[in-house]
Structure 1
């Protein structure tokens, strides 16, 4: 189990591989983001994208799953305080394969709870061509192994 003390500023990880399907793009969008270019192929052809594309929220959800499978599942995580600078850089299309790259950009001990450390991590989601499709800055909380040290 990785604790706050095990994490260093500058740590980077690359992981995950998830192929996005047309059916799941439509299913997600029908439930959460039913804009025409996410649910209707004909309408999507006439959109700025020219084809069906995933909701940005769907892309974020896929990257979150990859993050849990790749790092957070092995970390003494305590949740997050939020996300800043969420950006959708490129549309995600059916057949795209996503992976994730993370970099720890800051860390500090909580002043109000010495059992908790704050870890800020920049995430990039990339497609199979290495193009960045999504970025965000996460403000995570990680349990300290040795509070008070």
Structure 2
């Protein structure tokens, strides 16, 4: 059975270029100084939770470009069960990503925030929260406009 992806609805860059440029600037500023691997893992995990095919495609490609392994990319959806495949710092970032992304489960728990604060100093933690927030915004734009993954 072949399924056809829904047609894109809107091109944000074409119709609101100032908003697109502002989002791109925020995205760049948020990640400044944050470990690139952590940033990509966070972007991929949030995009998995938000079912954003466009962002999943882009950020898995970006992660591969900075040396991320196929095994870690494939197991990211089950990072909690993957043992020591991810560092404690990465695991703290992923837990925070899930808590910030899925706010319908309640506020970000104190223990999740404290775990992240053990591994990231305050400037890094501020950037991490900004990256999580930014990718969630990008996911919502891509999903609502039905922006699909780039063809191979």
The alignment's TM-score, normalised by the length of structure 2, stands at 0.24
* Greater RCO, CA 8 A, separation 6+: 2
The alignment's TM-score, normalised by the length of structure 1, stands at 0.24
Q: If each structure's strand is expressed as a fraction of its own residues, which one has the higher value?
A: 1
Which one has a bigger Cα radius of gyration? 1
Q: If each structure's helix is expressed as a fraction of its own residues, which one has the higher value?
A: 2
